[in-house]
Amino acid sequence: MPERAVRIAIIGAGPSAYYAAAALIGQEDVEVRVDMFDRLPAPYGLVRYGVAPDHQRIKSVAALYEKTANDPRVRFFGCVEFGKHITIDSLRPLYDMLVFATGAQSDRSLDIPGEDLQGSMSATEFVAWYNGHPDYRDLNPNLEVEGVAVVGVGNVAMDVARILAKTVDELKETDIAEHALEALKQSKVKNIYVLGRRGAAQAKFTNPEIKEFGKLEHADPVVLASELELDPHSAATVEQDRMARQNVEILREYAARGQGGKPRKVHFRFLVSPVEITGRDGRVAAMKIERNRLVSTPDGYLNAEGTGEFEELPVGMVLRSVGYKGTPLPGVPYDKRKGTIPNDHGRVLNPATGDVIPGAYVVGWAKRGPTGVIGTNKKDAEETVALMLEDVKHLRRAAVAHGQDKKLEDLLAETGCKYISFEEWQKANALEVERGKAKGRPRVKFINIEEIRTALGG
């Protein structure tokens, strides 16, 4: 077989995939060719479908990914589903190395009665809906309700609470999906309850995110001073941890403001856990919450423990925002407890033996779980790529010869896959931006592949 570049398939085209591709083409020791496959027609994963539409600065990182995507050594194949169009077995003969960059596509549940009622959903579904993810186009959340509970106090909870709290004027210059903008125009939501099971010092949101609630046009943050009192352990946390300290200071400032005069309220509640969602005619009608106290575990972690004191919140919608969770991929090892692909610093492991599976790697949330900001994935991907480059020397190469791209085309054609290339995506992207210009928006998104194909002329 003629000497050829190392052929690498990356499954997923989100931030971790692009950081891995950038690290692979950014080194000079090994010649590589990288093919990226994504189930969705558009690249960039959570940058397009997760990051809030009013956080355009964070989205500007896509320009970096585009640079990588435009490198002749990198190709993008959209609308290609792992498990349907491609599998481990069909990719192995074509690629020397496989990299899983599939993120965490599901979410954790609360395991409380009433979670299945209409109007109770995960924040991730709601996020996907307002960001124009094709699978959630028809979620149709009922915004004719006055009260919404958002469970969890991470940055995803901040995103959904803020989008619900903002006016259409505050959102109309973003790239929020048109259907979401239309629905939010009719919103009757007045009270948004953001619920932390532990105290303010344990909140996971970051300072800029909580600060934004102090500057909304139409909504006041409401905080009970009594829920900000710190036990000695939390006081010590606040001493040592700058982010926690500033979070508490911001919340104290909100508490001092009182109720405020704006029509919408975002109530930040701490030391409360949902215990039941109650319904009427199959729909969410209220949420029963229990007051908690913090209990220190032997390893110093502060756990929330119910006190037996209950309260009812009048809500018609519940968004659980208690963390993303990975989902298993067909034929790929999966750690059910962590929701990740078992790995040693990015080398995929056989869970039965603990041995490394040659030529299989993982990056991003599928590797370490759903934590960290977009940029965290850069270092994480570079760690995996460094191991890939170490392994190249001992690699058993796939039988495919240089220039045999035809085999991939055949494979995709055989499985009925009409993929979308990066060039096609770039044309669709330009059209989205063009549509946005007329409305003073960064872009007006196409939602599904049919819309894209129609716009591209069939």
Six token digits for residue 353? 């033996």
Is 373 an interacting residue with respect to ligand NAP (CB under 6 A)?
Answer: yes
C-alpha distances (whole Å) from 435 to each of 44, 53, 429, 448 are 20, 16, 10, 16
- Of residues 182 through 211, those in contact with ligand NAP by CB under 6 A are 196-198, 202, 204, 209
Which position among 23, 128, 145, 157 is part of the footprint of ligand NAP (CB under 6 A)? Answer: 157
Is 155 an interacting residue with respect to ligand NAP (CB under 6 A)?
Answer: yes
What's the rounded Cα separation, in Å, for the pair 285 and 397?
59
Residue 371 CB, nearest approach to ligand NAP (Å): 4
- Of residues 95 through 114, those in contact with ligand NAP by CB under 6 A are 110
What's the rounded Cα separation, in Å, for the pair 396 and 417?
29
Residue 321 CB, nearest approach to ligand NAP (Å): 6
- Of residues 295 through 324, those in contact with ligand NAP by CB under 6 A are 321-324
What string marks each residue from 267 to 286 as x (binds ligand NAP by CB under 6 A) or -? ------x-------------
Residue 274 CB, nearest approach to ligand NAP (Å): 7
Residue 312 CB, nearest approach to ligand NAP (Å): 17
Q: Which residue is nearest to ligand NAP (CB)?
A: 154
Long-range pairs for 423-427: beta carbons < 8 A, 24 or more residues apart: 424/78, 424/452, 424/456, 425/41, 425/42, 425/43, 425/76, 425/78, 425/452, 427/456
Nearer to ligand NAP, 7 or 162 (CB): 162
Is 370 an interacting residue with respect to ligand NAP (CB under 6 A)?
Answer: yes
Nearer to ligand NAP, 10 or 151 (CB): 151
Is 371 an interacting residue with respect to ligand NAP (CB under 6 A)?
Answer: yes
Six token digits for residue 224? 């009970």
Cβ contacts of 343 within 8 Å, gap of 6 or more: 349, 361, 362, 367
Q: How many CB atoms lie within 10 A of CB 442?
A: 17
Is 159 an interacting residue with respect to ligand NAP (CB under 6 A)?
Answer: yes
Residues in the chain: 458
Residue 322 CB, nearest approach to ligand NAP (Å): 4
The count of C-alpha atoms lying within 13 angstroms of the C-alpha of 454, restricted to the half-sphere facing its C-beta, is 6
Which position among 12, 15, 152, 339 is part of the footprint of ligand NAP (CB under 6 A)? Answer: 152
Six token digits for residue 370? 């759903």
Nearer to ligand NAP, 322 or 362 (CB): 322
Question: 112: closest CA among 318, 388, 416?
Answer: 318
Q: Contact at 8 Å (CB) between 139 and 306?
A: no
Is 154 an interacting residue with respect to ligand NAP (CB under 6 A)?
Answer: yes
Q: Contact at 8 Å (CB) between 304 and 272?
A: no
Q: How many CB atoms lie within 10 A of CB 302?
A: 18
- Of residues 79 through 98, those in contact with ligand NAP by CB under 6 A are none
- Helix count and strand count (H, E) for the chain: 17, 19
Nearer to ligand NAP, 37 or 131 (CB): 131
Residue 109 CB, nearest approach to ligand NAP (Å): 8
Is 290 an interacting residue with respect to ligand NAP (CB under 6 A)?
Answer: no
Is 372 an interacting residue with respect to ligand NAP (CB under 6 A)?
Answer: yes
Residue 79 CB, nearest approach to ligand NAP (Å): 26
Strands (E), 87-163: 97-100, 106-107, 120-122, 147-151
Nearer to ligand NAP, 237 or 273 (CB): 273
Q: How many CB atoms lie within 10 A of CB 242?
A: 10
Six token digits for residue 214? 């102090």
Residue 458 CB, nearest approach to ligand NAP (Å): 37
Residue 457 CB, nearest approach to ligand NAP (Å): 36
Q: How many residues bind ligand NAP (CB under 6 A)?
A: 24
Residue 64 CB, nearest approach to ligand NAP (Å): 17
Binding site for ligand NAP (CB under 6 A): 110, 151-157, 159, 196-198, 202, 204, 209, 273, 321-324, 370-373
